Each structure stands twice: as structure tokens, then as C-alpha cells.
Amino acid sequence: MEINKETIKDFVKKIKQNKKYNSISDDIVEKEINNYIRKFNADLYDDKFALKKIRKELHRLYSSYQTKGKRKRDDYLKELELILHKQGQTSQLLEVTKKILSTTLSCNERFENYPTLYNEIFKITKKPKTILDLGAGLNPVSYSFMNLTKLKYYSYDIDLEDIKFLNKFFKIMKPKGLNGKASELDIRDLNKVSKLPSSDVIFMFKVYDLIIPKNKKKKKIGEELIKLLLEKSKYLVVSFATKTLTRKSMKLPRRIGFEMMLDRNQIKHKLIETNNEIFYVISKK
């Protein structure tokens, strides 16, 4: 079913009237509108039903991982800049880093594990000079826990406010050896993914489950994405939550189907587990 572009643009505005979704790029919202039209073979005249379904999907993809502290993070960033300007102590730097990371659920949950986690990852991958972070959220802010003196960091997400925030953060942290750039990218678009720069390590933390459709016929997208990313980097770190958003432990935290796909494609993997997350450090055999 074809819907004219003006109608879709008007519907984008309706969806983004809700503050929860107004920072997500128009392209992503348009894509979800078109997905809705194809899935339900429906137009957009039933506003309430369409709005509910499309916003629900956008919430699943992004908004469920935000906290109310998001609006405070610019103040924390100013605090970070002041500490670096005065050449403050490492403990002060880590304290304000924790404040920024606390504004997203995943980063907040990961906070206590970051030092050990990066140590374990880099034992396998060696210390990287370049990292790509897909569906990054605010994960690049954890740079202070990586124990690196110099790093090139490419960060990709769909939230324009996060992208703008991270580019400010990268500018502030440049004297600390962090040379970063945040850009918009829908990692479901394999054509755009194929044009990403090469790196030593690629992070994909808690995004694989979100971007891969439940429809079994489309599972190949995930397989193609993994193989494509391993052409860009020797190592890929993919993580999955082991607890629900309500903090209940999952019955099957390991992703057996994912592991079978890796084995089928002769892709090696090593596991790192924390109290909230399971990480697959994968590489070609």
C-alpha cells in the first residue's frame, strides 16, 4: 500500500509530539511507519491504533533504556569539563562519569562491571586503537574505565540528542587521548553498515535482540550483519541482557540459537558473564 510522502511526514510529527520520541531521527520514525504500513497493509487514518503500534516499537528499540536523569546530563558534562580544566583527581573524573552513565539503564547497570569487563575483553582482543560502537547509547562515556591512553572511537545511534551529547563529550575528552565522533546510523541498514570504517574491535551491547525481527524468515538479517561486521573488524563483542527490564533473571540467559549460528558459520566465540549481561567475544576461526 502506497502512502504519499506528505502524509508520512505529518504522521512523523504526530509521533514526535510525545517527548519520549522527539529526539529519534525522522528517518528512523519514517522507517517504522513504513514497516507498520507493510505489516498491517493499512493506511494511517486510524490514528490511535497506528500511533500506539509505532510508538510501541520505537519504545522497544530505544526509549525503554532511558531514565528521567537524561535531562541532567548536560550539567554533568559541564562538571566533567571543569574537573578536566582544573586537572582534578581520577576519583572526581570517575564520579562524574558515573553520574552521566546513570542516565541510561544499561550503562548504569554496567557501571560496577566496566573495569573488569574491559580488562576481560581486552585480554582476548588486545588493547584496541580503534573502536566502533553500534547502538552505542552513552557507552562511549565509559572510556575512563578502559585503561587506554589513546583511542579512536566511532559511535553510532539513532537518537539525535545522544549523538549531539556524545560529540560534546568527545571534544571535552580529547586531551585525555579520546578522539571520537558520533553519527546517526540504523544498523538494520546493511548497505550503510557495509560503508563503516574498519576497526580493531566492534561493540554491539544489548542491541542484537532489538534489531533482529522475531519473524524466523528474517533471521538471516542477523547472520548477514555479523558476517559483514567481521569483515570490518577481527573482533566483535555482542552482549545480551540476562535480566528483564523488571530485574527478573531470565530462564535461558545464553542465546543458544545465536551460538548455533556462530558455529554454523565457523565463527569462534568466548563468553564473559556479569550479573546483568552475557558478552560474546567473537572472531573468525
How many alpha carbons lie under 13 Å from residue 122 in its C-beta half-sphere?
A: 15
In a domain, 102, yes or no: no
In a domain, 34, yes or no: yes
Higher pLDDT, 109 or 97: 97
In a domain, 18, yes or no: yes
pLDDT at 106 over 90: no
Q: Which of 6-10, 109-113, 142-146 has the highest mean pLDDT?
A: 142-146
pLDDT given at position 57: 75
In a domain, 70, yes or no: no
- Least Cα distance to 143 among 151, 134, 135 occurs for 151
In a domain, 91, yes or no: no
Average pLDDT, the chain: 85
In a domain, 10, yes or no: yes
Q: For residue 118, what is its C-alpha cell?
A: 574491559
DSSP string of 84-149, one letter each residue? HHTT--HHHHHHHHHHHHTTBHHHHHHGGGHHHHHHHHHHHH---SEEEEET-TTGGGGGGGS--S
In a domain, 79, yes or no: no
pLDDT at 207 over 70: yes
Residue 41 and residue 152 in one domain: no
Q: Domain of 278?
A: 108-284
Which amino acid would we find at residue 11?
F
pLDDT given at position 108: 82
Mean pLDDT of 131-148: 96
Q: How many domains are there within the chain?
A: 2
DSSP bridge partners of 233: 199
In a domain, 93, yes or no: no
